[in-house]
A and B are shown apart, each in its own frame.
Chain A
């Protein structure tokens, strides 16, 4: 595909390859992104803090390295920004909160070190739901993040700025974290690719925690190949995170090259996930399955265990673990939380050790039972990411009013079950719904099946043009 004249519209892989080939300097690319941020930031509020000076220094270092003939990393010169919860020693990491408004950690997250080593340029910290609590992108301390396809609508959360900035082409990619859907939902709402990896595939050292049983970290990008490249950089064992798997990493980007899905069995759950879809979401899902079938996939109806009981156990675990992390502040400065996060956190105080451990104890059995039932007749599952049209900021702005839990549950009902089960899920853009906002589907696989998900998604992306569509620049 010929590259656009505006380099901010290139894919991440095209941009990295162009820098490596000397077709554009890292500084030119970074300056182009900074100009685009100037245009979009007043509309989207995607950044909490912009680190323009540092970004230009990093870009200059890449350009010097290239002119000296030094080896460049796979992301050399590519401007990225990240959910403002990945620590960099001495630099601001607000966690989207008032409590950590001025927090500067003394250590650097493993994922940040790996991106730096790959040559990526760091543009700054992105908006997020307060302490990663919330699937919509509302934030009372830093201002709501807004969707570039329609700023009256939510970005999804909690990695709100990661979705918005990547969707608006301000950055070539962004890391987010996913505890119940917080990568996949903003990826879905902003029309970009986002992966929630298998638990333990990406180190969480130096990342703000929410629920250590469910927390995962993954990239949001414009294309599937971009995602595979960025994921390959951040994934893998880490001596600083004992929960990380030591399994060797497959070549994720190779899985996206000339991808064939002939014979791949794609399972469509007959219950729950498709039970309450809005009509235009259903149309987008049906169309995506038609494309996948035309590419040679075999579409198989599957009967999977009802995920609602799993979600009840997941909620109990998340409440307990997050209340543990926030206990001191909840007791000493509850007024510094906004109402909804505080209301969600305080429920965790009521969980007994026995109830918490019982929910954890059942997990191995339930993971096994789910995998054996769900993947008996298929290789990957296909579900909507949002089963509703992306709502407006106003209609989903619940605070702690009666019924807020039901709104949260509805928005994340298709993503949350897979965190308890530790399974990988990939959000894939699939057009637009009746209200003009993006539609997406989610591919879910067995543990460590990220390469299979990338292969299927890349085949779909090659057959459609959604990855090339970007929201119009604000006037």
Chain B
């Protein structure tokens, strides 16, 4: 769980953004969903990957 109060403090103090409680709630919801989805889709280590490989995969899986 991500602490909503900490998130609000981070938005206001850490990021100099005057987002209120609703901003923090929205951000927490998004992060919690994404973290759960990442754990479900790509469990374990991401050690042997890197983002630019997406282009290589697209080429390999691409229309002949």
- Give A residues with C-beta under 8 Å from B: 198-200, 245, 247, 308-310, 312-313, 315-316, 319, 330-331, 334, 343, 346-347, 349-351, 355, 357-368, 371-372, 375, 400, 405, 422, 445-449, 451-452
Contact = CB atoms under 8 A, between A and B. Distances in A.
Contact of B24 (A245, A334, A350): A350
Across the A-B interface, give the 8 residue pairs with the lowest CB-CB distance, nearest first. Answer: A350-B27, A309-B37, A449-B63, A364-B53, A312-B37, A371-B61, A447-B58, A360-B51
B58 A316 contact: no
Given A330-B17, A350-B7, A362 B27 contact: no
Identify which of B10, B31, B56, B60 gathers the most chain A CB atoms within 10 Å of its CB: B31
A247 to B, nearest CB: 8
From B23, B36, B59, B60, name the one whose CB has the most chain A CB atoms within 10 angstroms.
B23
A422 B30 contact: no
Bin chain B's interface residue count. Answer: 35 or more
- The DSSP consensus for interface residues of chain A is helix
Interface of B: 7, 10-11, 15-19, 22-24, 26-28, 30-31, 33-38, 40-42, 46, 49-51, 53-63
Contacts of B16: 331
Contacts, number: 132
B42 A362 contact: yes
A411 B10 CA distance: 31
Contacts of B41: 309-310, 313, 362, 366
A312 B57 contact: no
Contact of B10 (A310, A350, A359): A350
B2 to A, nearest CB: 9
Contacts of B61: 367-368, 371-372, 375, 446-447
A315 B37 CA distance: 11
Given A350-B15, A361-B49, 20 more contacts: A247-B62, A310-B37, A319-B30, A331-B16, A331-B17, A346-B23, A349-B27, A350-B11, A351-B27, A355-B35, A358-B42, A359-B34, A361-B50, A362-B41, A364-B50, A364-B57, A367-B57, A372-B61, A375-B61, A446-B63
